[in-house]
Amino acid sequence: MVHNTDEVTLSVVAKGQRRLGADVAVVAAASLDEGVVLLDSPFDAARTTELEALLPRLGFTGSAGATLRTAGQDDDAAAVLLFVGLGEVKESASTEQLRRAAGVATRALAGLEKAVLLLPASTLEDFSAVAEGASLGAYSFTSLKSAPKPNAAPLREAVIATDLKADKDLKAALTRAAVVARHTKRVRDLVDTPANVLYPESFTEYARQASKSLDIKLTVWDEKKLAAEDMGGILGVGRGSVRPPRLVKVDYSPARAKGHVAFVGKGITFDTGGISLKPAAGMEEMKSDMAGAATVLHAALAAAELKLPVHVTAWLCLAENMPGGDATRPGDVLTMHNGKTVEVTNTDAEGRLVMADGLSKASEEAPDLLFDVATLTGAQIVALGHRTAGLMGDEEATSAVLAAAEASGEPFWAMPFPEDIRPDLDSATADLRNSGNRDGGMLKAGVFLREFVGAEGVETPKWGHLDIAGPAFNTGAPWGHTPKEGTGFALRTLVNVAEALPGRD
C-alpha cells in the first residue's frame, strides 16, 4: 500500500527565546482598516511599528493566505522571517484563522528542516489550532514519484512558541493535535492513491495493518459472506469488477465505554458510473470516491490511539463500480440487507446502494448515534460549493455534527427533508428506486438512505448523513492547511463527535 512516511515533529518552546536554531520564524499579521497589524508581535514596539509600515510597501497586505519572507535581525528567533496573513481579525483571531495560517506557513516552508511559529497561542484552544494547522500544512503526496524534488519534502520540525509552556494540559493538547492531524493526512494518502493500487481487497489489508497495534477488532465480509447476509447493494455495485467487494467492520470497544457511535463510509475505490458510464473528462478524479470509508476508518483509529472512553465502530463499504459483463444493469432489482428491494434506474447512483447495506448492518447494534459519510452527490457541489459539506438527518445527530464541526473549523450546512421528496423515489417494480429526477438530488440521496436506518427488534439510532463530495477532494490550488487533491475533510469533526459523546444528555 502506498503511503507517506515523512511526518513533521511538533514541539513547544516558551515565548521570548531567541535564536532557536530554526531556519525560519513565522509571524502572524492581520489586515485591518488601519493597515497591516502584527499579532502577538515578538518585536519591540519601535520595530513593530516600523515593520507594520514597511510590509505594505513590500506588497504584503496581511490578507488570508498571504506570505512574505524577509531577512531577520540578530536578536530575532531566526535569521529569516516569514510573515503570514490571517485576513480581517475582529477582537482576536479565530481558531480557524490560526489553524489555516499555521498551515499556510508550513506549506510555504516545504524543503526546510525547522521553523518556529510565533503565532498567537495564549490559550489551549489557540495552541491546539496552531499545532494542528502546522502539522496539516506539512504534507505532500510523493510516494509514487520516482525522484521527488527535495523542496517538496514537508517541513521536518515545527516549534510552537507559547506562554503556556508550564500548563499541565499542554502536553495532552499537543499529542491530540499531532494524532488527529496525522490521521487526517493518512486519509489524504488513501484518497490520492490510484485505483490500480487501492481496491477493495488492498483497502481491507490496509485497514488490517493500520489497526494491528491498536485495541481494534477487525471483521471482514468477503463476497461469499456478503451473499449469505443478503448484502445486495454492495454485491450489486461490485459485480462489474474483477475485484470483488468487501464490507469491513473496524471496532474500537474500550472497557466501560460511555456510549456508542457508529460511522458508515462510502468506499467506491473507483467509480466509472457502471453501465450508466460517466463522461471521460475528469473521470480520473473518481479515485477519490472512497473518501468516506477512509475518513471513518481513520476516525476509529484516532479514537483508539487517543484512548477515548467511547465505543466507536467504523463500517467500510468497499466496491469498485465498473461496466463489466456481469455489471448491474439499469432496471435490475436488488434485495438489500434489510429486505427492501431497490430498482436500479441509474448505476452511477451506486454509493447509496453500498451505504444502504452498511447502514442496515450498523443499525443492528443500536448505536447511540449513527452517521454515514460519503462523497455521494454532484448535487452537493452544485448546492454548497467545494468547501461546505451537506448535512441531513435527525436533529440530535445533526446538532452533534454542527457543534463538532464548529470546533474543528470544517464547514457543514444543514439541509431539509421536504415531504415532497420521497414520492419521486417510488418504483412500480420494487419498494423504491435508487434515483429520481435531478431536482433536489442531494436531498433525495439522503431520503433514500433514511429508508435503511434502523433494524427490527432494536431501538432506531439517531442518524446523520454527511455528503462531503466537494470538500473531500480539492481540484484547485492548495489553500490554508488544505493540499491539492485529497483533503481529509470531516476526520476532525468525527473525532470531535466521538469525544463529545460521553457528555451527551
Is residue 467 a known part of a binding site?
no
289 is in an annotated binding site: yes
Catalytic residue among 176, 239, 287, 352: 352
Catalytic residue among 69, 156, 208, 278: 278
Any idea what the Cα angle at residue 307 is, between residues 304 and 311, rounded to 5°? 65
The response to whether 348 counts as a known ligand-binding position is yes
On whether 91 is known to bind a ligand per the annotation, the reply is no
Nearest to 9 by CA among 152, 199, 248, 182: 182
**Alpha-carbon gap, residue 199 to 231, rounded angstroms:** 19
Question: How many other CB atoms sit within 10 Å of the CB of residue 384?
Answer: 21
Q: Which three cell numbers stand for residue 158?
A: 515545527
What 8-state DSSP symbol labels residue 479? B
Distance CA 372, CA 227 (A): 22
Which position has the grid cell 463529545?
Answer: 500
HEC profile of 25-88 = EEEEEEEECCEEEEECCCCCHHHHHHHHHHHHHCCCCCCCCCEEEEECCCCCCECEEEEEECCC
243 flagged as catalytic:
no
Whole-number Å distance between alpha carbons of 212 and 429? 45
Q: Using an 8 Å Cβ cutoff, are 184 and 216 in contact?
A: no
State yes or no: 75 annotated in a binding site.
no
Q: Which three cell numbers stand for residue 382?
A: 452544485
Cell numbers for 53: 509600515
Rounded alpha-carbon distances, angstroms, from residue 81 to 28, 31, 84, 133: 11, 18, 10, 19
As to burial, measured by CB atoms within 10 angstroms (0-12 exposed, 13-18 middle, 19+ buried), residue 333 is middle
Q: Are 136 and 481 in contact (CB under 8 A)?
A: yes
Q: Is 352 a catalytic residue?
A: yes
What is the DSSP secondary structure assignment for residue 19, as one 8-state letter?
A: -
Q: From residue 318, how far is each of 84, 312, 347, 449, 486 by CA, in Å?
A: 41, 19, 16, 17, 18
Phi, psi at residue 432, to the nearest 5°? -160, 170
Q: Which residues does the annotation place in the binding site for Mn(2+)?
A: 266, 271, 289, 348, 350
Q: Which residues does the annotation place in the binding site?
A: 266, 271, 289, 348, 350
* Active site residues per annotation: 278, 352
